[in-house]
Structure 1
């Protein structure tokens, strides 16, 4: 490895370590935007919408909580027990053991708490439903705090891409807290979902920058022009999040309005097309940079 990032990457982590949370956040953002749009459309068209029952959305909340807990367990097991993980040992002899993986573990843990809150609030009537929004805000703010302290002593470009992640995480937590104060505001929910989608794609972008897959050329972590280029890429990532949400809204509203039986098929097609566009976008940026 040369000094442009390879040797640093051996110490910091790897591409799958950033791709996995990227997939989780992208799926979560897509699902949360879908749920918000469904609630809004069903409320607006009560007579024609067949998915508007409170019981159905309550079951979806329970399912969402189970999926979040499952994702948390997958992330924690992968971090701790796969590819040289610390195996739940935080200190070996006189040195700390893989502290960066412990950072990621804490991020997963707080999202697991969000999943538990979803399940409990949907099954125990005495618990306030707004507790889930508070736990969501807490999870994203903890993520922002963790990644703010994640890059001490690293190179300029490495610090920059993580600072962007800190900013987006903080804004997501802020939007979730506003949802805790202002309930059933679809614009706030979609704005928060756009930030979650942005986090998902940006995690992948960090992986491409710090640990290029397939033996690709490493990025120069000391080149200011790379920061300028990634600033533009970040705007493209955010635009992609809005395009995904806009297409999601169009698919759902058209499906509910014209053919009740086609929504599941249409959503699966949308999920496939948006995922394909997402990965094509990331690989396109990588190819553009390599030219």
Structure 2
């Protein structure tokens, strides 16, 4: 994950999942208000696919498998954990551990969708577990505290040194990533006990979307495709700006969540009304046909 592609791939997964969750949550809200005709949704091929196929779990497994392999082959081959009795590529294997926990979550989603529906209550537990592992590993492998080499708080050349050789801006951006992950963890855990709460799922979706957009931001800021776009990572003004930028991400993602919810709700209601009209026409046609048969028999 310590590359442009690593952050883009993980960020894209969270963004895609969040958009899917917004659509899914919008569907459930509209469907529960139309219980008398909820089965009509099965007549819409797109929603039939979502309802009957473990799309979410399968997508997570594909994403995470690609991420796991990518960590070990890009930018060079790294399929080793020990060399001469010593740990190597520890950061790579930390990232692979995160990918593995999300793969397990995806696998549980597939199982509970089609084969073990009685175990569906375990889904939020495994989702919370994945966020816990991500948050813990991010925090401790980041080293959120500054390590200073002298009493003045600077190294001999006057540059501040941070744990793991990270720059000031790098540390701050990854602290923000830890915060976004912790929010996802907290709201996901809330869903385990507060299953009927209507707000917590939206907060969890928002936090996951924030997690994704911020990882994409890290990719373009710390690992730019062109050297000319590289930031001065030890500049305090830049470090303060990225903290403010995180606030912008918080605002934009909550607005995006709300707007997408409105868009999906309008689309779903429109589709629902169209299917309802078709059902009504089908029922009228069936009634007319039945009446015609009855009058024919009475003759």
Could you say which TM-score interval applies, normalised by the shorter chain?
Answer: 0.7 to 0.9
Superposed CA offset, 1:11-48 (max 9, x none) = x8321111110111110111112111111111123346
Among 219, 239, 243, the residue aligned to 2:251: 239
Equivalent position of 2:134 in the other structure: 143
5 Å-filtered alignment, 1:239-278, equals 239-260=251-272
Superposed CA offset, 1:53-92 (max 9, x none) = 99876525x22111111111111111113321411x1122
Among 24, 27, 37, the residue aligned to 1:38: 27
Q: Is the 8 A contact 1:36 1:186 kept in 2?
A: no
Q: For the residues of structure 1 that align with 2:271 and 2:117, how far apart are their CA atoms?
A: 38
Q: For the residues of structure 2 that align with 1:106 and 1:157, how far apart are their CA atoms?
A: 25
Aligned CA distance change for structure 1 residues 69 and 259 (closer, same or farther; 3 Å)? closer
Q: For the residues of structure 1 that align with 2:98 and 2:258, how far apart are their CA atoms?
A: 29
Aligned CA distance change for structure 1 residues 85 and 166 (closer, same or farther; 3 Å)? farther
Q: Indicate whether 1:93 and 2:105 are aligned.
A: no
Equivalent position of 1:4 in the other structure: none
Equivalent position of 1:271 in the other structure: none
Equivalent position of 1:73 in the other structure: 65
Aligned CA distance change for structure 1 residues 260 and 252 (closer, same or farther; 3 Å)? same
Among 122, 129, 134, the residue aligned to 2:113: 122
Among 159, 180, 189, the residue aligned to 1:168: 180
Equivalent position of 1:209 in the other structure: 221
Q: For the residues of structure 2 that align with 1:198 and 1:216, how far apart are their CA atoms?
A: 27
Q: Note the C-alpha offset of 1:235.
A: 1.4
Taking structure 2 as the reference length, the TM-score comes to 0.76
Superposed CA offset, 1:214-265 (max 9, x none) = 22332222222112211221111112212221221111221233344999xx
Q: Indicate whether 1:134 and 2:146 are aligned.
A: no
Superposed CA offset, 1:162-204 (max 9, x none) = 1111111111111111101111433111110111110111001
Gaps of 5+ in 1: 1-11, 264-291
- The structure with the larger Rg is 2
Secondary structure of the residue that 1:232 maps to in structure 2?
helix
Q: For the residues of structure 2 that align with 1:94 and 1:219, how far apart are their CA atoms?
A: 38
Number of aligned residue pairs: 250
Aligned CA distance change for structure 1 residues 126 and 46 (closer, same or farther; 3 Å)? closer
Q: For the residues of structure 2 that align with 1:32 and 1:114, how far apart are their CA atoms?
A: 15
Q: Is the 8 A contact 2:11 2:214 kept in 1?
A: yes
Secondary structure of the residue that 2:180 maps to in structure 1?
helix
Q: Alignment RMSD, CA only?
A: 2.5
Equivalent position of 1:281 in the other structure: none
Q: For the residues of structure 2 that align with 1:135 and 1:220, how far apart are their CA atoms?
A: 39
Aligned CA distance change for structure 1 residues 262 and 137 (closer, same or farther; 3 Å)? farther
Secondary structure of the residue that 2:119 maps to in structure 1?
coil
Aligned CA distance change for structure 1 residues 226 and 257 (closer, same or farther; 3 Å)? same
Taking structure 1 as the reference length, the TM-score comes to 0.78
Aligned CA distance change for structure 1 residues 125 and 84 (closer, same or farther; 3 Å)? closer
Q: Note the C-alpha offset of 1:118.
A: 0.9
Q: Indicate whether 1:113 and 2:125 are aligned.
A: no
